[in-house]
Chains A and B, each alone.
Chain A
Amino acid sequence: MYESMLKVINGYGLVSGFAVIGVTMWVSYWLSAKLTKGRLHGSAIAIFLGLVLAYVGGVTTGGQKGLVDISLLSGIGLLGGAMLRDFAIVATAFGVNVEELKRAGLSGVISLFVGIVSSFVAGVALALAFGYTDAVSLTTIGAGAVTYIVGPVTGAAIGASSEVMALSIAAGLVKSIAVMILTPFVAPLIGLNNPRTAVIFGGMMGTSSGVAGGLAATDPKLVPYGCLTAAFYTALGCLLGPSLLFLSVRGITG
């Protein structure tokens, strides 16, 4: 009995993924309607549930891929992997208003630079506060606060120690998870309810999974605008991290 079930679920991973995520969505929308009277989006609850399950998965298996490390649930890895995620994000562009996009274009570019520099400064400030003084560690931790990809890429380029690299990845992960959870609550306070601010938001936060999840939980209509700018963030961060940002930090710390 049990073996037959395992065989089916493992052999049809993606299909099982659809089933598990579908049930999660149903539960979340039910909770949203019953407990919050719809004030908190069902998608926000679903994403939060996903993160909680990922934590449970990570703690029980000791792996790095959350729930997917539980072999029965590996199909979720296919469904939420980079391939289908990017495919679906591109599909959301179908409803984009070109005029809105043009009007926000320049602000989007500015926000990319401001977003990278401000995240970097925040990361460096915290690293300073916790007693790091060498330019390499400061830069790597600051770059980790940009995204969890910029951190290790920068660290590898300037020769950071592996502990500092691990810290920078953790900082980036915290950022991306915090964006997913907090965005629906902060959105009304910062006017995140139109394509223009969504473009700016994408450039300010930049973590593609954070922006994708945060906007989905806030208002799905805003997703393509934010994801469009966020798509350029990590690459720009990888470009600036080991060069301009590292040189500035080295210039200041001497």
Chain B
Amino acid sequence: MIIYGVAFLALCTLAGLFIGEVLGKLIGVPANVGGVGIAMLLLIFIGSYLNKRGLFDKKSEQGVEFWSAVYIPIVVAMAAQQNVAGALSGGPMAILAGLAAVGLGFALVPMLDRLGQPKTKTAAPSKPIPSTQR
């Protein structure tokens, strides 16, 4: 039944957020430590275990797939309630600080991508040459 999938998703979400809260308490941080991420890992691993044992049928899967499919509309609704006016009223320093952080973040993504690449793959010589030889 579809509700099994929805309930499974709900249980994973709640369990993950709960673990995140407890971790936050233990470390002494006033934030949820990776709750959503832990919930995702629970969903992935328990989900594939149940799938292998045949306990998660197509109908139940639909209960998870629906929520995954309405993800984008939900993100649009999320965008519509951001405090955009507040962000822009922070003045040039706040705006530049935010933009600088984003620019630096974008610039470092390819660097980190190269850094952790397994050696067999970096052996492909075509990519890194232009930037490093100059």
Residues of A within 8 A of B126 (CB): none
Name the A residues within 8 Å of B125 (CB-CB): none
Contacts A110-B115, A145-B101, A191-B113; A235 near B106 (Cβ below 8 A): no
- Residues of B within 8 Å of A234, CB to CB, are 31
CB of A54 closer than 8 Å to a CB of B: yes
Q: Within the assembled complex, what's the spacing in Å between the Cα atoms of A87 and B37?
A: 11
Q: How large is the interface on A (under 10, 10 to 19, 20 to 34, 35 or more residues)?
A: 35 or more
Contact assessment for A141 and B36 in the assembled complex, using a CB-CB cutoff below 8 Å:
no
Cβ of B108 and Cβ of A123 under 8 Å apart? no
CB within 8 Å: A-B pair count: 330
When chains A and B are docked, how far (Å) is the Cα of A196 from the Cα of B74?
Answer: 25
- B79/A213 in contact, CB under 8 A: yes
Residue pair B72, A43 in contact (C-beta under 8 Å): yes
A249 → chain B closest CB, angstroms: 15
Q: Taking A66-B81, A94-B64 as contacts, is the C-beta distance between A235 and B32 under 8 angstroms? A: yes
Q: 1/0 per residue B24-54: CB within 8 Å of A?
A: 1001011111111111110111011000000
User: Does B84 reach chain A (CB closer than 8 Å)?
Assistant: yes
Q: Are A88 and B68 in contact (CB under 8 A)?
A: yes
Q: Within 8 Å of chain B (Cβ to Cβ): is A6?
A: no
B68:A106 contact, CB within 8 angstroms: no
Given A90-B16, A118-B101, A174-B97, are A216 and B75 also a contact pair (CB < 8 Å)? yes
Interface residue A21 (Cβ < 8 Å from any Cβ of B):
yes
**Chain A residues within an 8 Å CB radius of B87:** 170, 173-174, 177
> Assuming the A-B contacts A88-B68, A200-B112, are A65 and B91 also in contact, with contact meaning beta carbons closer than 8 angstroms in the complex?
no
How far is it, in angstroms, between the C-alpha of A232 and the C-alpha of B33 when the chains are bound?
6
Q: Is the CB–CB distance between A126 and B12 below 8 Å?
A: no
Q: Is B93 on the interface with A (CB-CB < 8 A)?
A: yes
**Inside 8 A of A127's CB, which chain B residues have their CB?**
93, 97
Q: Which residues of A sit under 8 angstroms from B47, Cβ to Cβ?
A: 94
Question: Judging by beta carbons under 8 Å apart, are B67 and A87 in contact?
Answer: yes
**Could you tell me the distance between the alpha carbons of A227 and B44 in the complex, rounded to whole angstroms?**
14
The CA of A11 and the CA of B24, in the complex, are separated in Å by: 37
19 A-B contacts (beta carbon < 8 Å): A43-B75, A46-B76, A50-B78, A50-B79, A51-B79, A80-B81, A81-B78, A87-B67, A89-B36, A94-B64, A107-B112, A111-B112, A153-B30, A170-B86, A170-B89, A178-B98, A231-B40, A235-B34, A239-B27
Q: Which residues of B are in contact with A by a Cβ distance under 8 Å?
A: 9-10, 12-13, 16-17, 20, 23-24, 27, 29-41, 43-45, 47-48, 61, 64-68, 70-110, 112-113, 115-116, 118
